[in-house]
A and B are shown apart, each in its own frame.
Chain A
């Protein structure tokens, strides 16, 4: 009995890893045979970004059971901290090592901000928590929009006013130019690195879920009072899960930043619309279902591009598909129908095991 159970979860995880690797191979084959338009090729790294951040958010929404609308903010922290690092050390450190360090810096910076935001926010619950994370996300974006950062012979300069008040020397290097963002970040991201990062994210999240810490986090989600009664430190485990989730969102930000030559903190990429888009991936893919998040993130990013030919109608169709998928996934009747279908298929082979 014990053996079977362990194998089942491991098998499930393996399917998820295999799915990502298979998708990668298929895409590479399609590119090699010239079946992928340059438009879609340009979207491959953003795909990976969305997948990573969707997995990260699912850790908060599905495993910790709290609704966060601030994950675009953590992405933003990861993106800017790493972009600044890569720009400052563009010539000093060789490409591969520099990007590795950039990833670690982005993850660490987002983890730190996630931890600090988490301390007050995780005292709240449900809708209140969602709204406050939304506010924190916006604050992060707006601070970065107003930030000027430069480095010259005299060291690091920074201000929130304007470029002139930085008071830099002639040969100084501007790192963040307020609303103009970061320009000239080396383009270190590519599809392969993106997929590797997805696999690493998956490894961290899936192993976390099946560990002692993950169980503690899920027990808090399922019943906080009972969790406390068996000696689970609620605050501690909530913070651990939230920090890891923020940190992984930061990694997604690093990947995103190093795919662009100019990085701006726009409402479109790091605002709450982005946070909500990520949440849509998670809800649509199934809350707590990591594999579902990946599929939903890819499908919903791909859909508007595939529908581009329909021009004006595409957002309408996108919305209709969204509603249809949501109903199929979550309506009680649809769930019942799927269950019966599954039972009919598995009947005879495994009698009486499903409920």
Chain B
């Protein structure tokens, strides 16, 4: 059974049909790419998957559980984590705290225990710090732990966003244009890291990307979106050689 499955997903904004009859099936452990021209509805699909928008019709299934109509928080708890096209970090908080916010629902103590610093506070905070540092180490950010997130270089901010998403212990990771604004070197490094995340955490990843080098380099399957509709779907090389895809998106 596929980890993520959508059936006939659709949403309109006023008269605009943003996404229409969208079907996708992502297997566990897959690295799946979602590509298409600007305005094709890629980010809208991410917003549908994470409950930012509610679909007008269709269903979303994660591991067989129906997530249609659920709120963002519940979808996060069900196991979908994401990053954003324009980086959204908690800028005024430290790098470590950003990750610790990601751990919020997995390491708990009450507000009162926190204010009175009861034993449970110390115990859980210690565990949180260890877990967060472990994650930062994976992403090579441990030396920045006490930096303010907004003071990180751009590339590291992208990494931190992924680290924070991974802290929520997801089953599926959605990456919205992770290579946006990166130079070729940084993109190469990012590619390696995405592959590493998949192997290290045994993660399923769905990503939106415009950088064809990255897409053809790491994605196993692709879905091409155009004007809210699926234009082509299948193995990466097959899709990229599809004449329709070349005319609509890649260019001759």
Could you tell me which A residues sit within 8 Å of B by CB distance? 1-2, 4-6, 8, 203-204, 207-208, 210-216, 218-219, 221-223, 225-233, 240, 288, 355
Could you tell me which B residues sit within 8 Å of A by CB distance? 50, 52, 72-73, 76-77, 81-82, 84, 88-94, 96-98, 100-102, 104-105, 107-109, 111, 114-117, 121, 124-125, 128-129, 133, 142-143, 145-146, 151, 164-165, 167-168
B145-A2 in contact (CB<8A): yes
Q: Which of A2, A227, A240 contacts B90 (CB 8 A)?
A: A227
A226-B89 in contact (CB<8A): yes
A215-B73 in contact (CB<8A): no
Known: A216-B101, A226-B89, A231-B168. 8 other contacts (CB 8 A): A4-B146, A5-B146, A218-B90, A223-B88, A223-B89, A227-B90, A229-B76, A229-B165
B89-A231 in contact (CB<8A): no
A213-B101 in contact (CB<8A): no
B72-A211 in contact (CB<8A): no
A1-B100 in contact (CB<8A): no
A–B Cβ pairs within 8 angstroms, 9 of them: A1-B142, A208-B111, A211-B111, A212-B100, A215-B100, A218-B92, A230-B101, A232-B104, A233-B73
Classify the interface of chain A: helix, strand, loop or mixed: helix
Q: How far is the CA of A85 from the CA of B247 in the complex (A)?
A: 79
Q: How far is the CB of A202 from chain B (nearest CB, A)?
A: 12
A230-B145 in contact (CB<8A): no
* Known A208-B114, A212-B108; contact A222-B50, beta-carbon cutoff 8 A: no
Closest to A220 in B: B90
Q: How far is the CA of A211 from the CA of B100 in the complex (A)?
A: 10
Residues of A within 8 A of B102 (CB): 230
Q: How far is the CA of A231 from the CA of B97 in the complex (A)?
A: 15
Q: How far is the CA of A203 from the CA of B77 in the complex (A)?
A: 32
Closest to B50 in A: A229
Q: How far is the CB of A86 from chain B (nearest CB, A)?
A: 26
Q: Which of B72, B91, B114 contacts A212 (CB 8 A)?
A: B114
Residues of A within 8 A of B108 (CB): 212
Residues of A within 8 A of B128 (CB): 212
Residues of B within 8 A of A227 (CB): 90, 101
Candidate in A207, A225, A226, A233 with the most chain B CB atoms within 10 angstroms: A226
A215-B111 in contact (CB<8A): no
Residues of A within 8 A of B114 (CB): 207-208, 210-214
B76-A230 in contact (CB<8A): yes
B89-A222 in contact (CB<8A): yes
* Known A1-B145, A229-B50; contact A212-B109, beta-carbon cutoff 8 A: yes
A222-B73 in contact (CB<8A): no
Q: How far is the CA of A2 from the CA of B109 in the complex (A)?
A: 21
Residues of A within 8 A of B97 (CB): 215, 218
Candidate in A212, A215, A216 with the most chain B CB atoms within 10 angstroms: A212
Q: How far is the CB of B69 from chain A (nearest CB, A)?
A: 16
Q: How far is the CA of A145 from the CA of B190 in the complex (A)?
A: 64
Q: How far is the CB of B86 from chain A (nearest CB, A)?
A: 10
B145-A229 in contact (CB<8A): no
Q: Which of A8, A216, A225, A226 contacts B104 (CB 8 A)?
A: A216
Residues of B within 8 A of A208 (CB): 111, 114-115
Candidate in A210, A221, A230, A240 with the most chain B CB atoms within 10 angstroms: A230
Q: Which of B50, B115, B146, B165 contacts A1 (CB 8 A)?
A: B146
Q: How far is the CA of A225 from the CA of B161 in the complex (A)?
A: 13
Residues of B within 8 A of A203 (CB): 115
Q: Which of A4, A211, A230 contacts B121 (CB 8 A)?
A: A211
Residues of B within 8 A of A232 (CB): 73, 101, 104
Residues of B within 8 A of A288 (CB): 92
Closest to A4 in B: B146
Residues of B within 8 A of A229 (CB): 50, 72, 76, 81-82, 84, 88, 165
